[in-house]
Amino acid sequence: MTTAATAPAPAAEAAAGGARPRRPWSSRRNAAAATALLSLCLAGPVLYEEVYIRTGHRAHGWRIRITDTLADHTLNSPWVIAAAAVGCVLGLWLLVLASTPGLRRLLTMSASGTRGVGAVLDRRSAAAMLHRATLEVPGVSGARVRVGRRRASIRAWVRFGAHEEAREALVTVLSAERERLGLVRPPTVNVKVRGAR
């Protein structure tokens, strides 16, 4: 037997001064380093070859082969289309990285009232706190907790007592624990109760 209940998230309060804290932006060092390295590998030899040719030297063999290959392929060639598709996907990926904060594993906490000071809570830490609160409910012998950006899913196993009473107690306890997390956008708590395994 399984029973489920959902505790909706309360309305988020506006931070001091009317501005809501935002998730910090990821520095994305790996993406920036990969882009810089790829650009260097592609643009460096081309730039060197252009300078080499402009100074009166004959083009290297790789430049001649690439030029001949490009001249033999039309725009509707499968290789040209595939290369363009890969370039578009990489470009869109870089645009998404540039326009989103990232760090999706972090949940923004409410403002402390100090300008320029913010705090975040890792999802695993939030899940651990909700898991601890779940096990404090009488009759609950085990639980599995997953916390997302909008929803916290709790599956609890009840060893003794009525499932409906345990579910109501879990909703009450977890709703209070959710408030103690101090998040700007508290997740909706979704509770499912099952008999002990």
Provide the residue-wise pLDDT of the chain in tens; the chain has 197 residues: 566 667 666 655 544 455 566 666 667 777 778 888 888 888 888 888 889 888 888 888 888 888 887 777 777 888 888 988 998 998 888 888 777 777 677 777 776 555 555 677 778 888 888 898 888 888 888 889 898 888 888 888 888 878 888 888 888 888 888 888 878 888 888 888 887 66
Q: What's the confidence (pLDDT) of residue 15?
A: 44
188: left (phi over 0), alpha (psi -120 to 50) or beta: beta
Fold of 2-11+107-195: Alpha-Beta Plaits (3.30.70)
Identify which of 21, 20, 25 has the alpha carbon closest to the alpha carbon of residue 101. Answer: 25
User: Does residue 188 contact residue 7 with C-beta atoms inside 8 Å?
Assistant: yes
Segments making up each domain of the chain, as ranges: 2-11+107-195, 29-99
Q: What's the confidence (pLDDT) of residue 86?
A: 92
Q: How far apart are CA 152 and CA 143, in angstroms?
A: 13
